[in-house]
Structure formats: structure tokens, C-alpha cells
Amino acid sequence: MTDLPALQTLRLTRAGRLLTIAFNRPDVLNAVNTQLHRELIDAFAFAARDAGSDVIVLTGEGRAFSAGGDLEQMERMIAEPALFEAEVRDAKLLVFALLDIEKPVIARVNGHAVGLGATLALLCDVTFVAESAKIGDPHVGVGLVAGDGGAVIWPQLVGFNRAKEFLMTGDLLTARRAAEIGLINHVVPDAELDAEVEAFCNRLLSGATEAIRWTKVTINLELKRLAHALLDPGLAYEALSLRTQAHRARVAALRARRERT
């Protein structure tokens, strides 16, 4: 059986034929910095070829699934906008590394899923969300375009107008509200999250592996076509918004709020 890779910002574990990939920066609510971004690409590539697993779970260590973009990372890119060029390349690789996995990928959303964290959860095949968690994409809250995947997946799940409402306001939705509008599959009491995810994964593991995989592959063909069409312009607009005064001011205000608390 293939050894699990040792990564600094992710924790990979295997139980039987189930592989779990966990964001492992709990001290910053699993915010995504450059290292986590790149290690996710490596982890998804490993998961795709791992001969020892048939189902993947994506989750977070600690209180959050993922708080989205890392503040220090945003500040570095404001100081050096050229850094965003590598971020753009990695953003596309990350989305397609996830969408290209033939095995079912289940999101176990144990806490808030925000920004890129929400996008990654929603790009999974089935989402289980703890009742106390919130989910949303507040790119606009820091003056950025939701170009790294939010504009791809939200309209497919809730329709264009609802997607525009939530992406243009950046509002966070309760798990219950997200389930009501079809953004997520399941909202469950926090204490029951592990049991619900385990039961569903076991159901898939006991199913017809090839039929399940190829059904997913067929459905994802259209989603990947949309991602190819939308990611380049979305990331280009996000790069433009990175250079705006509104973005700089909102990041500075966020830093000030954190230093006061």
C-alpha cells in the first residue's frame, strides 16, 4: 500500500479504504496560505492515484473547516502584486486537481467554511455540514473578486440570482439556510457529524466502485467545462481587484480589528 505523504499544513490518514485529508492549521482556523495551497494540490494528486483508498473525506482540524484566505498572505500580495501570478497558476491547478479525482470526495464541514474554504467544500461531491457551522464567500468583504472558483460552483448549486446575491454581499449562511436552498447536501447536529459521514462513506465503500466513479466522472465533465471557461477571466478580474484601493483599505481595516482583539 502506498505510504501517506507527510505534509506540514495537511494531515492525511487512512482507515480501511477511506482516505481523510484534513486542513491542519487550527491556530489560524485553517486559513489558506501559499504552502497550504500548494500542499493541497499535492494531496489531491496523491488521493487520485492512491491504490489504498476508494473514498476521500476533506475536513479541517480544530474549530473550523477553513477560514479562507490568510491575512498575512493578502498583505504580502498587496506589497508584491507579482506574487499573485503564481497564485493564479496554483488556483487553477487546485480546482482541477480536486475535480479530476475519480473517487467520491465527501466534505466533512466541521466548522465555518469561508471564501476558498467554502469553494473547496462545495466542489466536493457531497457535503455534510455541522449545524453550528456557517458557509459563505466574502471575497468582496476584502475588496476582491470571487474569482478562484466561487463563481463556478455557486450558480450550479443555487442558480444565478441567488449566487449573485450571496457572492456580491459576501454574506455567511447558516448550515440550515444553506441546506434549504440546496447549497449543501446535509446539515446535521454537531455531535452526529462523524457518524453521518462515516455511514455515508461506508455505503459508498460497499457499492460498485467503478460504477460510482464513472458516474461522478460523467457528471464532472460539465463542471470542468464551466471551470475551464470561467476560471481564467475570474482570476484575471481578481488580480485587478488586488490592485485597488478598496482592497488595500479593507485588508488594513481587518488587520486593525484583529490587533484590537
Task: Tell me the per-residue pLDDT of 119-178, one tens digit each, with 9 for 90 and over.
Answer: 999 999 999 999 999 999 999 999 999 999 999 999 999 999 999 999 999 999 999 999
> How high is the pLDDT of residue 1?
60
| Residue at 205 is within a domain | yes
Average pLDDT of the chain is: 96
Residue span of the structural domain in which 244 resides: 10-260
Task: Tell me the per-residue pLDDT of 40-76, one tens digit each, with 9 for 90 and over.
Answer: 999 999 999 999 999 999 999 999 999 999 999 899 9
Cell output for 28: 489560524
Task: Tell me the per-residue pLDDT of 98-121, one tens digit each, with 9 for 90 and over.
Answer: 999 999 999 999 999 999 999 999
**Single-letter code of the amino acid located at 234:** G
Distances (CA, A) of 36 to 46, 175, 186, 232: 15, 25, 27, 21
CB 67 within 8 A of CB 28: yes
> How high is the pLDDT of residue 85?
80
Burial of 129 (0-12, 13-18, 19+ CB in 10 A): buried
The C-alpha cell 475551464 sits at 228
- Check whether 83 has a pLDDT greater than 90: no
The pLDDT of 224-235, averaged and rounded, is 96
Which one-letter DSSP state was computed for residue 5? P
Distance CA(35)–CA(27), nearest Å, equals 15
| Domain count for the chain | 1
Cell output for 127: 457535503
| Residue at 4 is within a domain | no
| Residue at 85 is within a domain | yes
| Residue at 73 is within a domain | yes
Confidence of residue 229 (pLDDT cuts 50, 70, 90): very high
| Residue at 5 is within a domain | no
CATH number of the domain residue 162 falls in: 3.90.226.10
| Residue at 3 is within a domain | no
Which segments of the chain does DSSP mark as H helices, in order? 34-49, 71-79, 83-99, 116-123, 150-158, 160-169, 175-180, 193-205, 209-242, 245-260
* Torsion of the alpha carbons at 81, 83, 85 and 86, rounded to the nearest 10: -170
| Residue at 93 is within a domain | yes
CA atoms within 13 A on the CB side of 193: 22
Report percent pLDDT > 70 for the chain: 99
> How high is the pLDDT of residue 75?
92
| Residue at 2 is within a domain | no
Confidence of residue 88 (pLDDT cuts 50, 70, 90): confident
The pLDDT of 220-249, averaged and rounded, is 96
